[in-house]
Amino acid sequence: MSQPIPAAFKPVASFITKGYQMEKADRVVAYYCFVWAVQSLLEKELHKKGKEEMNYAVQLMEHLEEVQNRSSKSPKWLMSCFDRCSNDL
């Protein structure tokens, strides 16, 4: 995402950044970084701070789905990891 991370997302910014850094190296790690960031910002209601935060949160959730969908062509063991995580949400 080319958009800067909103200041209100400071508590989860390191996980968002790490998720983007890890996308090519390890999709599972990237996925869980994004999952944790999204869960945390929703639990803390950081997405409700303003329009910029809401837009960024929506884009981040869409990106999370893209990461999962791109992995649908991955080995079965990787897909089982995503399935287990999705069931925990």
From first to last of its 89 residues, the chain has per-residue pLDDT tens of: 668 999 999 999 999 999 999 988 888 888 899 999 999 999 999 989 999 999 999 999 999 888 888 765 555 655 566 666 666 55
**Rounded Cα–Cα distance for residues 25 and 14 (Å):** 17
| Residue 38 within any structural domain of the chain | yes
Q: How far is the first Cα of the chain from the last one, in angstroms, to the nearest whole number? A: 23
- pLDDT the model gives residue 82: 61
Q: How many residues does the chain have?
A: 89
Q: Domain for residue 75, yes or no?
A: yes
Give the domain range for residue 49. Answer: 7-88
Q: What is the pLDDT of residue 76?
A: 61
Residue at 2 is within a domain: no
Residue 1, domain member (yes or no): no
Q: What is the pLDDT of residue 1?
A: 65
Domain count, the chain: 1
What pLDDT is stored for residue 80 in this prediction?
Answer: 64
